[in-house]
Amino acid sequence: MTFYARHPRYSIFLIVCLFITLLMFFNSSPGGPDGGAGRAYPFQRRPPTKALHTEEVIDMTESSYREALRERQRMIRKWGPTPRDVDAFPSHGEFYTLWDFFIPAFQCPHRVQRIGTLGDGGKWMCGLDRVVKKPKCVIYSFGVNGESSFESSILERGPGCEVWGYDFSVNSFGPEITSVPNLDSRAHFYPYALGPSDAPTSDPPMFTLQTLMKRNGHSFIDILKVDIEGAEFESLNSFIRHFTSATPDNGQVVLPIGQLQLEIHARDATYAQFNNFLKWWEELERAGLRPFWTEPNLVYVNLIRGVAPDLVEYSFMNIRGHHELVADDL
């Protein structure tokens, strides 16, 4: 006796279920009556998501960054209540350090990668793939210290890139560049100091960043690396104020750089004070610089135990102007 003859009702139920399943599949498939507008099953091809332009991503991320700024003010009121009352590196049970007020809340709209050696010397970069495709890209490196893995890695990736290095404590770039003729030919080294004013006859000779750009015939720096043991505060102040003074009233300052890799040394008597550091940092922000990455210098903390963690690497991108990191039409 057949299964249908033994269980007619159960057989009819199975047939109905099969029919309903086929009907649902037909109605939800791309060729069905609703043109595929029914329920999306795992094996269906979903419509492609519209890609956002870089400008749109930056606008969205800037909105999030504004919220981080409001959170900074709330934290100042909690531990201050004014900036003058905040201890940068407290030692009485407070659960914060200076760096917790200045988190890298901005999101680079491109690939972020660490360039150079692991440990002290490497830097986190935004959109390097875009920069090295340029026919010509300009790198400035202040603070060479005989180790050039960061600079050499960029030169290797970008055949059109050249680097200008400045450090009065050494005589040349490190062997990562000097031992490779193809890289050494695109590297220019000078034993100068970066400072807030020009003093060409001092020992060592000192120049502002804007002066060095003029001497080299550059109107834009794609990658600016600064590691100058505390001189970064006044040097960057001078650079920003130079372009602020050239900006029309009520206009936005547009710095001629794409991104900044900066080691901050918050051990200076002036800038180790929270109020002064805050004013300096906010000047960077007003000029359009946004931090997208940070990395504490743990090598320093490990070698000199018992000190405050006052050396930290920050990576900033410039959200203003018209360059590879903020525009897609270049």
pLDDT at 251: 83
Please say whether the beta carbons of 99 and 86 come within 8 A.
no
Q: What is the pLDDT of residues 11-29, one digit of tens each?
A: 565 565 566 665 555 555 4
What topology does CATH give the domain 54-318? Rossmann fold (3.40.50)
How far apart CA 80 and CA 71 sit, in angstroms, is: 14
H/E run at residue 314: strand 311-318
3-state DSSP: the chain helix, strand, coil percent, rounded to 5? 35, 20, 45
Instruction: Give the strand pairing for 112-115 and 123-126.
Output: antiparallel
Q: What is the pLDDT of residues 52-100, one digit of tens each?
A: 789 999 999 999 999 999 999 999 999 999 999 999 999 888 999 999 9
Please say whether the beta carbons of 125 and 259 come within 8 A.
yes
pLDDT at 285: 97
pTM above 0.85, yes or no: no
DSSP 52: P
By C-alpha distance, which of 78, 100, 81 is closest to 89?
A: 100
Characterize 154-168 residue by residue with b for buried, 16 or more Cβ atoms within 10 angstroms of its Cβ, and e for exposed: bbeebeebbbbbbbb
Q: What is the pLDDT of residues 283-308, one digit of tens each?
A: 999 999 999 999 987 777 777 777 78
Structure tokens at 328: 């897609």
Beta carbons within 10 angstroms of residue 188's beta carbon: 13
Show the 3-state SS of 136-181: CEEEEEECCCCCCHHHHHHHHHCCCEEEEEECCCCCCCCHHHHCCH
pLDDT at 268: 86
321 class by beta-carbon count within 10 Å (0-12 exposed, 13-18 middle, 19+ buried): middle
pLDDT at 300: 76
Band (pLDDT 50/70/90 cuts) for residue 246 is confident
Alpha helices in the chain (DSSP H): 3-6, 8-28, 54-79, 128-131, 149-157, 175-178, 181-184, 209-216, 232-245, 274-286, 298-303
By C-alpha distance, which of 113, 145, 85 is closest to 275?
A: 85
- Distance set, CA 106 to CA 73, 207, 282, 288, 304 (Å): 17, 31, 14, 12, 31
Ordered by start, the domain boundaries in the chain are: 1-49, 54-318
Residue 44 has pLDDT above 60, yes or no: no
pLDDT at 304: 77
Please say whether the beta carbons of 134 and 222 come within 8 A.
yes
Band (pLDDT 50/70/90 cuts) for residue 38 is very low
How far apart CA 186 and CA 258 sit, in angstroms, is: 20
By C-alpha distance, which of 213, 272, 200, 271 is closest to 239?
A: 213
